[in-house]
Structure 1
Amino acid sequence: MPHRQIPQRTATTTELDAIERILDGATVIAHSFDGIISHWTIGCENTYGWTRAEAIGKPVFDLLETRANQPREDIVERLHHAGVWEGELIHRHKAGHDVHVASRCVAVRLADSDAFTIIQTNNDISAQKKAQDDLAAREAHLRSILETVPEAMIVIDDHGIVISFSPGAEKLFAMKAQDICGRNVSNLMPNPDRDAHDRYLEHYIETGERRIIGYGRVVTALRADGTKFPVELHVGETSVNGQRIFTGFIRDLTSRLKIEDDLRQAQKMEAVGQLTGGIAHDFNNLLTVISGNLEMIEAKLAPGPVLELIGEAQGAAADGAKLTSQLLAFGRRQPLNPKLSDLGQLVSGFSDLLRRTLGENIDLRTVINGSQHNVLVDGSQLQNALLNIALNARDAMSRGGTLTTEISRVHLDADYAKMYPQLRTGDFVLISVTDTGTGMTDDVKEHAFEPFFTTKGAGAGTGLGLSMVYGFVKQSGGHVQIYSEVDHGTTIRIYLPWVKVDTQATPEKIERPAIRETLPGGSETILVVEDDPRVRRVSVSRLLDMGYAVIEAGDAQEALTLLKQNPQVALLFTDIVMPGGMLGDELAKEARILRPDIHVLFTSGYAEPVVGGRDFVINGSWLKKPYTAKELATRIRELLD
């Protein structure tokens, strides 16, 4: 295009040859506007694989299959207009792979003619280009992850200033990144956490004691509109260019806590059912004694005022029997209501109820070290947590064992917290619950606190007990840990923050019950097996009054011995739950081996023939305590006749 004005840069052919020799190691190409190559350096041979002989005289655009981010005509136009063009090109190597270059083209007029030549210097940037592409891909991948995962990510410096706020965080906090970046992260927290945050951060940096660094801490967050919501916070720490930065991953717990609340209610109902079954058992034993003695007194009294008083007492006992039935349906929703309590008093007051729930083959021990075990806790929820732990321990001690609950004050220092990143330092009250059961494998321990995880058979448990213990303890600002070895038992430790205040716990109240009257009799021999001597005396007296011959035993082993010695026994009348390692249904099986023709009548203070977490296959008649003399007499005659 001779009509265009190109800046005056001139060179002779000799000068071009000299340039080629001087810059032979560089990637320099000289070619005409039509692209015909006139000079090709050793650097070009190294970069593109074509020798000088193969390249000279070839069109550069065809030889190297040049690709640019703008049309070739525009590049030529630029050279005609300005004499210089710079940009990035993609060339094809002789071996077939791409070579990315940063190119500079200068148009030079040949001194001995009106022709122009283009001197093109190329720098191979393939490695840099690949690194840039890899970096861009990683950044795109990271952005994709951050925009997809439900967790929000916030990065702060060692002064608490937000330096990165992910799209997930924008959505979670209803706040744009530009509105929070450069401000203190405490703006995302309600008080008192807002005022305390920087102090905690400074304390950690100075001492290494963890207050906010670690895994899975449940905290309260603050949205832009002022609403508060629960989140789970995971914080990591690193150093970039000598500056400490903290990365927090935040998960909204609103929905999960709602689900857990519903599950907690369901689990509570199951736990209350277990607890009230144990209470009903003891109440019904007491009612059996009361009502039985009232009946025998009534039979010996003539009509008059005293007999009327006996009748009123029996009416009250009957109401007590109804109460034990109502206990089985008991269970109401109790919101978390933390109050200052002394854990020593709280756990001691709960021990008697727990003992009834666990059954007589579990030795329950409570050890309280020191005093002033003050914590801020929901007493009923704590008792429910201990009940869940105790029921798991009972299942791990199917043949009986020892369950020990120990209360003590402990101080967790920075060294201890370093071993367990989820712990924070300070003074705690420790509740340590230890059983002598089968223990847990490492795999079971790893998943023990997960909701719905259970080692029990189908239908035998919900898998929610320990997960609710974990949630309750965390909600109360504490920690829970499991120590267990196979065949060596399990210890569950609950740490609750100690409060330096005097307090008193409110003791549990326990009620009372009773029953009614009449009788047909006989002369057969009956073996009565009952571990409670008061209940046994009432049963024996009733049967003697009905005319039966009675042999009595306090446990199953004694009963088997007496059965071998007395072949005339026609009926075995036995309690279900007894100490000594053999329960009522096992006694009945052994008795039928000795005496296939023997009749069996079972009784128990539990509400139904499901005791201590196991179903009893009752191949015989069932009589629930408390029972009247008439019910006892009628049931025995039904069996014997």
Structure 2
Amino acid sequence: MPHRLISPRTASPQELDAVVHVLDGADIIIHRLEGTITHWSIGCENMYGWTREEAVGEKIHELLSTRYPVSQEDIQATLKSRGFWQGEIVHRHKRGQDINISTRCVLVNLPDGDQSIIQTNSDVSALKKAEESVKTREAHLTSILDTVPDAMVVIDQKGIVMSFSKAAERLFGMTADQICGRNVNNLMPNPYRDEHDGYIGHYLKTGEKRIIGYGRVVTGQRADGSRFPMELHVGEATANGERIFTGFVRDLTSRMKIEEDLRQAQKMEAVGQLTGGLAHDFNNLLTVISGNLEMIEDKLPPGPLRDILRDAQEAAADGAKLTGQLLAFGRRQPLNPKQVDLGQLVSSFSDLLRRTLGEDIKLSTILSGAHFDALVDGPQLQNAILNIALNARDAMPKGGSLTTEVSRVTLDADYAKMYPEVRSGNFVLISMTDTGSGMTDEVKKRAIEPFFTTKEVGSGTGLGLSMVYGFVKQSGGHLQIYSELGRGTTIRIYLPVSAGGNAGQTDASVGAAKIPLLRGSERVLVVEDDSRVRKVAVARLNDMGYTVIEAENGRRALEIIKARDDIALLFTDIVMPGGMNGDELAQEAKSLRPGLAVLFTSGYSEPTLAAKDILAGAQWLRKPYTARELAGKLRDLLDAS
């Protein structure tokens, strides 16, 4: 409501004396418009330390070293136009300390035509100190809440959101302004959304607790409608006679995925032990069967019975092959590991693969780097490569391409954290990438299970990848499947380097590990649909000094790029769900921000298999990548732009 104007009243010197006399204990100063003090109350003596005799006749702004929020000219103009001025100023005590003052000045006319100002003051130093203390505590609390990785949501007893932390903004994909003042049930999917208000009402009425004081796993819903598992802890307090509830939320997506991977690994371990044991016992039976068939065959004359016996022997031989594959999966097949140059092994095996796959499939072999020595059973590895190639051929009935790449990689601790069955260290990586039909998520989960197959009945045993998995694990390595439906599949075999392979590493590369990572301060947008991979990438970039924004898909990333013009580099996965892949995102982003640097990452051996037209000037990084590789690529792109 606007302040009313106060017309200056005329007051005689006697009336001014009376005002000060009646209110002598109050903090009242009367001075001329130009500042000369004419009246000084006892209250002012107590507040400022100057006696009446010392103050009267002095200029107020000089005596009290007044600091105004605006110029004295502006204050006088306001007094003349409105009749009063009020605000906060700073005065100096006689002993030298500052006093924060809330003041109100009223203009009065004197009979001689001159003007004076009646100024009433209140010492608000204690209040200002309390306010600053509260602000400091609020800033401290805010910094803590912004740093704590768990999201925090505060609601009132009606379910209305009162506070929403930065971590909550990142977790739910919305800002505090978008949710504060709205019902917290907007962060939940149904049926919880419709039932939530009833939960609060039931608690307020009966006192029966369901979540308050307990940790509980529930389902949350992001702004884009996606759901995720979360751990919720709720505390309760009373403020101004009303209940408030504070919820701490932890995203369980990554933890549940790791637990699922661990359960899958444990299941495969159990199945492997079972099938290995059965295959071992069944081999003993086949040995008896085939041995007796051979002895019977020697005693039978040529004729129909001998032909029937030969069919039985061939069936027993097929059974022996089947048990061999089961033993491989169960990691019980006899291996003869030797130091092998895997680059040479794969290259020499390419001719056999080319004849096996046929003319409709283009076969490419790439050796990235050198020193591919590993301690492995060469023939068994070739058998594993052949099994993968045959699966790739079946996934490309109309032809396509199969690319095999051999390289040296280092799996660091960050990568090992994402996959419980993986250990960190130096490996030789054999990646086989096809352009076939790809796999669904359900098929990927079961791809290495014995006897699981998507082929027609009679077209396969479902033991190909199972055998590969068992062989790789028995060799101390790791198998990973990367596939996108309709785009193709990459099978990656990690085999630990042998002592000879380590010895081949140059002193320069060993010394490079001691060189600090290249750093930067630019803003980087990370786009990755796998939350675990995205979390690791963001953590690495933060450690390198970069300011990071993250997005879970291309659509969200494009919204961020349109809203901000300070993003220096786009670091995006190539294959992502949601209707926009990485190369499409990069094209759109470059049209909006031509100076934007682009770094692709992919689980495929060649990015061209996932993106047909890689953007000019962009670079790519194959998963898994080390922090050093990422740091180098970033500086190459950013320093060139």
TM-score by shorter chain over 0.5: no
Task: Give the TM-score category using the shorter length.
Answer: 0.3 to 0.5
Which structure carries more relative contact order (alpha carbon 8 Å, separation 6+)?
1
TM-score (norm 2): 0.43
